[in-house]
Amino acid sequence: MRVRDWQDILSDVVDDGRDPDAWRAVAGQRRQNIGEDLFLGHPDVGVYQLKTYAKNPYDVRGVGARVARRIDDDLDPLFPNHHEADDAGLFGVQRPPEDESQAESMARRLEETVKVHAEAPTTPDDFFTDVMEALESPAFGPMDYEFDARPDRLDGLSDEFTDADELLSSELDDLIESDGVGRGFQ
C-alpha cells in the first residue's frame, strides 16, 4: 500500500472513467483528532481510503491509499446501495471544464436536463443521475455521511482495513503537527 496525497487519489478516481454511477462512498469524522475519514468504492476499481482536514477554510490537506482492488462480498454491505431508502445522501466528483467551449456545452446540457425534469414526473435519484451525466461527472453515487459523527459503516470499513487506517491516521497526524494546527495563536 502506497500512501499518497489525497488530491492524487481523487485524480485517479477522475481519470479512471469506468461506470461513473457505480461509485459509492462512506464518510464522517475521524475517531480521534481533527479531520474526516472517507472511503470511495467501485466494484471494478476497488476501494480508496482518504483522511483529510481543513488547515484553513481555503486549504484542505490529507492523505490516502488504495486499500482494496475490488469490492467483494464482505465489503459490499459496508457501502450504501443505490436502492436503499435509508441512505444519507448522494455525492459527486467534478472536474472543471477544459475550455470555454466545453463549459458552454455542459451548461446547455444542464439547462436541458433541468427543463426536462421540470416538465415531467421524476424522482430525486433520477434527477441527480441526469445532472451528474450532464456535467460529465467522473464519479457519483450514494453516500452514507454524517457531518458531526461516524456512520456505523465507516467504523466497519475502518475495522476491515485496520492496518491502513492506522498508517493513514499516523501520516495525517504528522501532517497536522507539521502544519502547526493544534498550537493556536502564539
Using one digit for the tens of pLDDT, what is the confidence trace for 108-129? 999 999 999 999 888 888 899 9
Using one digit for the tens of pLDDT, what is the confidence trace for 132-179? 999 989 999 999 998 888 999 999 999 999 999 999 999 999 999 998
CA distance linking residue 92 with residue 129, whole number of Å = 10
CA distance linking residue 150 with residue 71, whole number of Å = 21
Among 8-17, 18-27, 86-95, 159-168, the range scoring the smallest mean pLDDT is 86-95
Radius of gyration (C-alpha) of the chain in whole angstroms: 18
Q: How much is the pLDDT for 86?
A: 54
Q: What is the 3-state secondary structure (H, E, C) of 163-175?
A: HHHHHHHHHHHHH
Q: What is the dihedral of CA 153, 82, 106, 116, to 10 degrees?
A: -140
Using one digit for the tens of pLDDT, what is the confidence trace for 20-71? 999 999 999 998 888 999 999 999 999 999 999 998 889 999 999 999 999 9
Q: Where are the domains of the chain?
A: 4-92+142-183, 96-136
Q: How much is the pLDDT for 27?
A: 95
Q: How much is the pLDDT for 17?
A: 81
